[in-house]
Amino acid sequence: MPQPVRVVFLGGLGEIGRNCAAIEVDGRIMLIDCGLMFPDNDMAGIDLVLPDFTWLRDNAHRVEGVVATHGHEDHIGAIGWLLDEMPLTVIGSPLTIGLAKNRIEERGHLKKTKFIEVSDGDRIKVGPFDMEFFPVTHSVPHGYATAFHTPQGVILHSGDFKLDMTPVDGRLTDLAGIGHLATDDGIRLFLCDSTNAQSEGFSDSETSIGQNLQDIIRARKGRRLIVACFASHIHRVQQLANAAIAEGRTIITMGRSMNKNVALAGEMGLLDIPSDKLAKIEDLDKYDDGSVCIICTGSQGEPMAALARMSTGDNKFLQVKEDDCVILSSHPIPGNESSVAAVIEGLLRRGVEVIDSTTHRVHATGHAKSEELKVMHSIVKPEWFIPVHGEYRHMVEHARIATRVGTPPENVLVCSDGDSVVLSDKGLKRGEGVSAEYVYVHGTVGNLGEGILDERRALGTGGFVSAIVSLRIEGANATLVGTPEIVSRGWVSGDDGDQIHKDALRAVSDAVEDALAKGVRKRPELEKIVRRTLGRFVSNRTRLRPSIVPVILGAHE
């Protein structure tokens, strides 16, 4: 009897971002993607969110590698962080690997990584994993749907995809290939992108955007144009370049990742901008406003990126001015809406004309909408289906679509991060769960847990109050040294504040003296008493909930 195959979901089921799943065949583990997530507004100060690597760490000796389905950060951005813990083989198209290498190099792990480049239609074996790569269209070139030929039949992972019938590079989603696989072998389990399950109809083709951009550019003769889009969206950059060059403009790229990706895609022959039409930002002054088009990073409102710096007047290369036109050829990904809005506000206040996808068709999604999902399901005809890549509501809607197209409801499982499923001769069953917490990165610290956010939220909404108590303990005698100090931030201020501080001081002193008289000598106990006393005082007197931090010096440990 063939061995069961297990799939473990480590991220991306219940949020857009940090996509990471694991397939277990014959005791070995192959990851499908290892991405990061951009923080929400309520994740005070956090830079990035990673998948939880606890389970992978415990099973590091069994990990073969990662299939990188395409080059987006939510799929490759955490590979460098996982390499902190274990060596890996990274499998993907040359462009995906090129983009992943940038991230891996940043963490200094290139030497620890083995790369396997695959081409459209390739079928390769790595350990017990027999994998086949089907081209899909998406908002970065050369993405794949991956078929895993396992002892339990074919598991097909869609990757991020849309059904663009007129893609910029002519490379279509290989529906015919997937159809062959579905009829010849049959698909036992299908894992499919749910991002746009709630959007009706079909997505716009990427090529429909090029003409719109050119119309906008043509109508702004003589004015400086600045366009922000994803640096990995090579086809968008290509269309922008074509449109701007056709209108007599020279292209200037701006922002580290835009410069890098334009160079990388150019070297790979995936982007074609004539060298005499491509200039450096340092040479901006040599051009009239009407003869350039600046393509830059920052379409997601990233505070350090080129566009955000323009919006605050901090961009060292370019000061925006009235008569400039900025196009955001993008759509905010969940969590970034308010940062994008802030950038737009900043630009508008500087008198700039701002065009974005709310009013103009300057962006096409990279993810299949509901009708495209129906087409895909009708071709794949899976025995079992699990929606992936989405917030919970997207996955629930995707499950509904699957059943409408013909998968029996009892063969559709909606899963969450940390769930696992086991595919055997008997069918698909839920397996044992694994840890799948959010792991936060701030600065160079890469393993912050949920506790740190609770602390930050408490500080952010209530401030803190600290009582510093010094004791002298000699034999049976214990006394306060001087008066305790109350230090606070973001709690109370002014004359009222002074009085409240004094009263707090009295309450704490009384409580400590009382405790000492009763023979309490140990620091943890005294801390508890001070925290309780101060907490009660703060709550009764101010009805606020600042963090309470007792500091006891000179007590017994």
The residues of the shown chain that bind Zn ion, judged by CB under 5 A, are: 72, 74, 160
Q: Shortest approach of Zn ion to residue 190 CB, angstroms?
A: 17
Q: Where are the alpha helices (DSSP H) in 471-522?
A: 494-517
Q: Shortest approach of Zn ion to residue 229 CB, angstroms?
A: 14
Whole-angstrom distance, CA of residue 336 vs CA of residue 357: 15
Q: Shortest approach of Zn ion to residue 220 CB, angstroms?
A: 31
Q: Where are the alpha helices (DSSP H) in 234-369?
A: 234-246, 256-267, 306-311, 337-349
Residues 6+ apart with CB under 8 A from 447: 439
Could you tell me which of 279, 278, 257, 261 has the C-alpha nearest to residue 270? 261
**DSSP tag of 202:** -
Q: Dihedral sign for Cα 520, 522, 526, 528, please.
A: negative
Q: Are 59 and 29 in contact (CB under 8 A)?
A: yes
Region of 410 (left: φ > 0; alpha: ψ -120 to 50; beta: rest) is alpha
Whole-angstrom distance, CA of residue 195 vs CA of residue 138: 12
Please, which residue, 72 or 369, has the CB nearer to Zn ion? 72
Q: Shortest approach of Zn ion to residue 138 CB, angstroms?
A: 6
Residues 6+ apart with CB under 8 A from 239: 168, 206, 207, 209, 210, 213
206 by Cβ neighbours in 10 Å (0-12 / 13-18 / 19+) ranks as buried
Q: Shortest approach of Zn ion to residue 20 CB, angstroms?
A: 11
Please, which residue, 370 or 488, has the CB nearer to Zn ion? 370
Please, which residue, 160 or 247, has the CB nearer to Zn ion? 160
Please, which residue, 142 or 350, has the CB nearer to Zn ion? 142
Q: Shortest approach of Zn ion to residue 486 CB, angstroms?
A: 50
Please, which residue, 75 or 224, has the CB nearer to Zn ion? 75
Q: Shortest approach of Zn ion to residue 35 CB, angstroms?
A: 7
- What's the full length of the chain, in residues? 557
Please, which residue, 74 or 419, has the CB nearer to Zn ion? 74
Please, which residue, 120 or 498, has the CB nearer to Zn ion? 120
